[in-house]
Structure 1
Amino acid sequence: MIMSHEENTSGWDAIDQAMQQLYGEQEPKHYGTAIPYMLGGPDPLDGISAYAVDTPMPHWHFVTYGFSELYDKEAEDTSRSGYGFELTFRLTRTEDETEPPAWALNLLQNMGRYVFNSGNLFQPGDYLDANGPICLNSDTLLTALAFVADPDLPERMTPNGAVQFIQMVGITCRELEMIQSWNTRGFLAACESYMPKYVTDLMRNSYADIPSVIQATERGIEVDGSSTAFLFIQQLSWEPARKKLLQKNVPAKLVLGAQQATLLSSILRSRIAKKATLSLIGPEINIVFEAGDQPSVVETEREVRLTVNQQAVDELAGQLRPQASFFELPSLDKLQIEIVPTQIKDQEGNVIKTIG
């Protein structure tokens, strides 16, 4: 194990102690970083450890070193250490497997790059669409990640502040949609009997087809509504209404990608039913839906606020399908909606699928 600050490793030691309490004297497989990220190294995390665990099924239990402050305290916030968390990941292990798969280590490092480069932090309840298999070049259905508090590692106080252990869980596209329509914790709890300890299994089928999971999700949506307040949509644009001399006025037009149509319908119904807003965040415009008795459209330079009642929601949700289409909403000043095809591309930019 290579330490870059041998004089003070209190943050690192705190993670070691948490894992030792869980697994005793087991020596983990540890993968350190030769060149620190700040000195131009490719990997942002200082290290990743993997423990071989046998219950509730054979699996690897990974833990990261680097989202928190491992050495001297540098951040001004004394209540938390660094970003305030480390990631864990549980992955099924075969009986003859003596080393954890490299793709899992790369996935965790990629999470480090995402946080370090964007400044966006993970919290229990978050989710992330990977836009492809979480293990590249595999036949897995798992194309997204959910985040939940690690069931065996409670938050820990260290000399540098508090550290949460947040576990990544591989999920399918349809499971992600169910989470977005409800919430992460509720959905994962509904799946727990099929996925104890939230161990990720690349070869599993989707839980979105299991009747008990479907019923729990439908009940949860009805009682809780959707926890999704923001949807980031790449294919989103707005054309303001235009007045033409001696001609009929042209209504405003909202343009959406087909990939998001069905999901938007589900989340919008859920949010508005609970009098909660839903914001669509696009490259150049934000569209905010909010509940109100009288439908209206209010435009500013960077934002459009659409006040909708139940009639407007029904009109919109009834037309939102993953296929190219064009329609008007009579209750919203004849607002025009255009659904355009979505092209799914691989890492080289080649179109591998068209939706709509």
Structure 2
Amino acid sequence: MSEEANTSGWDAIDQELSRIYGDQEPKHYGTILPYSLGGQDPLDGLSAYKSDTPVPHWHFVTYGFSELYEKESENAEYSGYGFELTFRLARSEEEEEPPAWALNLLQNMGRYVFNSGNVFRSGDYLDANGPICLGADTLLTALAFTLDPELPAIDTPNGRMEFIQMVGITGDELEAMQTWNTLGVLKAGLGQFPGYVTDLSRDSLLQIPSVAEAIEKGMEQEGSNTGILYVDQLAWEPGKKGWFSKNPDMVKLGAKQAGVIGKLLRGRILKGKSLILVGQEIRVVFEPGENAGCSTEDHEVTITLNEAAAAELSQSLVPQESAFELFSLPGLKFQIVKTHIKDQEGNVVETIG
């Protein structure tokens, strides 16, 4: 960057980090060819600081989700997407360089946001469908997002931005976050998970009885905060209503998400809240009501569930290939199909159902 370049957004981030780390010179990794000119890495830079509080770890900070230079967006309130990501990764005493996989993971988050337009906010979660460190022997297969405990939101010359900390989580922790809420699960495990520092070697928080009990209690009392769930395998087949044969309408779901959806229905419908499943070509809306029924309009299916239908359906939705109808909702069939988990090369590495 030349001396004449306006780096006011970048400087605001540096100033906030200097408040914590003083004169520590971070390990910084810049991008040679900008993403806008065909480069592979969407983020302009990544810094990694050594921290010893509450445990030794690398503290990564991104540069590029917010506006680092001139103000370009029309939204005067927020800088760019309104956030930068941070990531705290456990560090051994002899470790002098941050692991490359963590840098690649953060750049992958940049590609996701830049390509999809979806942003991360505190309380979000993301299923990585495999180890967050490719090839590692780890239970951490998903990510949660919360506010960085040391970096409050700041006002920059280009608008306001937050520091959103990315946290590695296990598959059952992800399910608990879906069926309750992200921040509740993280808070319940804070005593075992200081600073939300990601440690590839840790076990699930749900293996700790006191944490599992607190999460179960939260689910029962509050229900689920997940009102919309994006479902890879979701389809709708209208039934045939001929004179000589009648086939019921059918909802198809993948086995991987069937169990979670069953738990979500208990945490939403039984609390008087709706649940929306969003697939590539169809939306299925489950809503509470006194009389169970089903209706369709354009690319949306609305299924009304009373308590009996919600309980029956939630018990039937398990991660196993099957097809079934509900006694409390005649004329509608559900089919659970196998889910094939693939690696980046497209090879099937796991089959569920």
TM-score interval w.r.t. the shorter chain?
over 0.9
Q: Which of 52, 77, 80 is equivalent to 2:78?
A: 80
Q: Mark the runs of 5 or more structure 2 residues left unpaired by the alignment.
A: none
Letter paired with 2:111? R
Aligned to 1:275: 272
Kept in 2: contact 1:345–1:351 (CA 8 A): yes
Aligned to 2:158: 160
Kept in 2: contact 1:127–1:146 (CA 8 A): yes
User: Cα offset for 1:233?
Assistant: 1.4
1:254 maps to 2:267: no
Secondary structure at the counterpart of residue 71 of structure 2:
coil
Matches of 2:8 and 2:252 in 1, distance apart?
Answer: 52
User: Cα offset for 1:333?
Assistant: 2.5
Summarize the Cα distance change of 1:53–1:103 in structure 2 as closer, same or farther, 3 Å threshold. same
User: Cα offset for 1:337?
Assistant: 1.1
User: Cα offset for 1:134?
Assistant: 0.5
Secondary structure at the counterpart of residue 193 of structure 1:
helix
1:68 maps to 2:66: yes
1:342 maps to 2:348: no
Aligned to 1:354: 351
Pairing 1:40-189 to 2, within 5 Å after superposition = 40-189=38-187
Q: TM-score, normalised by structure 2?
A: 0.98
Summarize the Cα distance change of 1:78–1:5 in structure 2 as closer, same or farther, 3 Å threshold. farther
User: Cα offset for 1:7?
Assistant: 2.5
Q: TM-score, normalised by structure 1?
A: 0.97
Give CA-to-partner distance per residue, 1:135-174, whole Å, 9 cap, x none: 0011111010000000000000011100100000000111
Secondary structure at the counterpart of residue 160 of structure 2:
strand
Letter paired with 2:260? L
Identity within the alignment, %: 61
Matches of 1:5 and 1:182 in 2, distance apart?
Answer: 50
Kept in 1: contact 2:142–2:169 (CA 8 A): yes
Matches of 2:2 and 2:57 in 1, distance apart?
Answer: 30
Q: Which of 299, 303, 311 is equivalent to 1:306?
A: 303
1:290 maps to 2:287: yes
Kept in 2: contact 1:5–1:71 (CA 8 A): no
Q: Mark the runs of 5 or more structure 1 residues left unpaired by the alignment.
A: none
Matches of 2:217 and 2:4 in 1, distance apart?
Answer: 53
Give CA-to-partner distance per residue, 1:303-327, whole Å, 9 cap, x none: 0000000100111112111111111
Kept in 1: contact 2:127–2:143 (CA 8 A): yes
Letter paired with 1:93? R
Matches of 1:315 and 1:84 in 2, distance apart?
Answer: 43
Aligned length: 353
Summarize the Cα distance change of 1:102–1:4 in structure 2 as closer, same or farther, 3 Å threshold. farther
Kept in 2: contact 1:88–1:167 (CA 8 A): yes
Give CA-to-partner distance per residue, 1:10-33, whole Å, 9 cap, x none: 100000000000111111111111
1:192 maps to 2:208: no
Secondary structure at the counterpart of residue 109 of structure 1:
helix
Matches of 1:169 and 1:73 in 2, distance apart?
Answer: 30
User: Cα offset for 1:248?
Assistant: 4.2
Matches of 2:246 and 2:37 in 1, distance apart?
Answer: 60
Secondary structure at the counterpart of residue 109 of structure 2:
helix
Secondary structure at the counterpart of residue 191 of structure 2:
coil
Matches of 2:291 and 2:262 in 1, distance apart?
Answer: 20
What is the alpha-carbon root mean square deviation over aligned residues? 1.1
Summarize the Cα distance change of 1:4–1:285 in structure 2 as closer, same or farther, 3 Å threshold. farther
Letter paired with 2:275? L
Letter paired with 2:258? A
